[in-house]
Amino acid sequence: MIDSAPEQLRGRADLASAFAAVRTRLGLIALLFALAGMGWWWAVDQMRGMDNGPWTDLGAIGWFLGTWVVMMAAMMLPSVSPTVALYSRMMRARSRVEPLLFVLGYLVTWALAGAFAFGLAVVGGRIDGDLLTWTRAGRWLAAATLLAAAAYELTPLKNVCLSKCRSPLGLLLGSWRDGWYGALRMGLANGGWCVGCCWALMASFFALGIMSVVWMAIVAGLIAIEKTLPWRRAAVYGTAAMLLALGALLLAAPDLVPGLTIPASGSVSEMSQ
């Protein structure tokens, strides 16, 4: 009985440590969802009345990137929270800062993707007298973007990137780095795979109205479904079918696209001001 006392104490200590680790991970997930909720609240407030349909004016680059990062936090943090929780578990609660740096690296990757998209939009707005105007090539480019996004859903590259997002254990083990800088690097790497998985859906978001709360919610829902639904093939093929239908409607009858704002002018010529 006396000899078993230290073992019982160690067992209780291990149990307490396990419960503490679970509480830490649950707290981290709750924090990510709270940040996502705040992002949704802010985005809805800021985007009210700004939706001008496909290729909506993005404003100045500083304003756009700030809004874009908040939007990405709102849209992506819920679906990436299992990966962050797994990273925290693999760290064995050695630090509460490093999971947050992981999230920061993830958002930095999406910020870079947003800057790239802004640059493409500026170039498109300046080609041949505002190429993205709805009455010129804007409608056709929007439809083509949706059809290309539908095709990308079925490519091997999409499959590889989605596999990394759905099963991040191998990715985390293969790219493990210790310390604050390592956490940031791993977040950047995870964000890179996520961009590879979701860039076509984000391009569709631009094509349908980047300042539309409705399409923001739909695209965020599709991303979450693809990353978390057990029936992966059904999720991917369902998303592809939806994008294909939307692209066809934009070509044939844009008035029938639910939630779509037909641009009054479609001008994006003031984007870089």
Domain ranges of the chain: 4-256
Residue 235 has pLDDT above 70, yes or no: yes
Q: Which helix (H) or strand (E) holds 199?
A: helix 179-209
Residues 54/207, Cβ–Cβ less than 8 Å: yes
Quote the pLDDT of residue 49: 78
Under 8 Å CB-to-CB from 91, ≥6 apart: which residues?
Answer: 98, 99
Residues 101/184, Cβ–Cβ less than 8 Å: yes
173 vs 24, 87, 177, 178, 191, CA distance in Å?
21, 9, 9, 11, 16
Regarding predicted confidence, which is higher, 134 or 273? 134
Token pair listed for 163: 């596999």
For residue 92, name the pLDDT band (cuts at 50, 70, 90). Answer: low
Which amino acid type is present at position 184? L
Neighbours of 23 (CB within 10 A): 11
**50-59, 136-145, 197-206, 208-217: lowest mean pLDDT where?**
50-59
DSSP 261: P
Q: Highest-confidence range of 88-97, 141-150, 170-179, by mean pLDDT?
A: 141-150
Residue 42 has pLDDT above 70, yes or no: yes
Residue 13 has pLDDT above 50, yes or no: no
**93-107, 124-138, 202-216, 221-235: lowest mean pLDDT where?**
124-138
**35-49, 53-67, 120-134, 186-200: lowest mean pLDDT where?**
120-134
Residue 50 has pLDDT above 90, yes or no: no
State mean pLDDT over 32-45. 85
State mean pLDDT over 101-111. 94
CA–CA separation, 253 and 179 (whole Å): 54
Quote the pLDDT of residue 267: 42
Share of the chain above pLDDT 70, in %: 83
Quote the pLDDT of residue 272: 37
Best CA proximity match to 186, nearest among 110, 112, 115, 101: 101
Residue 262 has pLDDT above 90, yes or no: no
Token pair listed for 77: 């943090």
Mean pLDDT over all residues of the chain? 82
CA–CA separation, 102 and 104 (whole Å): 5
Residue 19 has pLDDT above 70, yes or no: no
Residue 128 has pLDDT above 90, yes or no: no
Best CA proximity match to 113, nearest among 205, 199, 39: 199
Residue 56 has pLDDT above 70, yes or no: yes
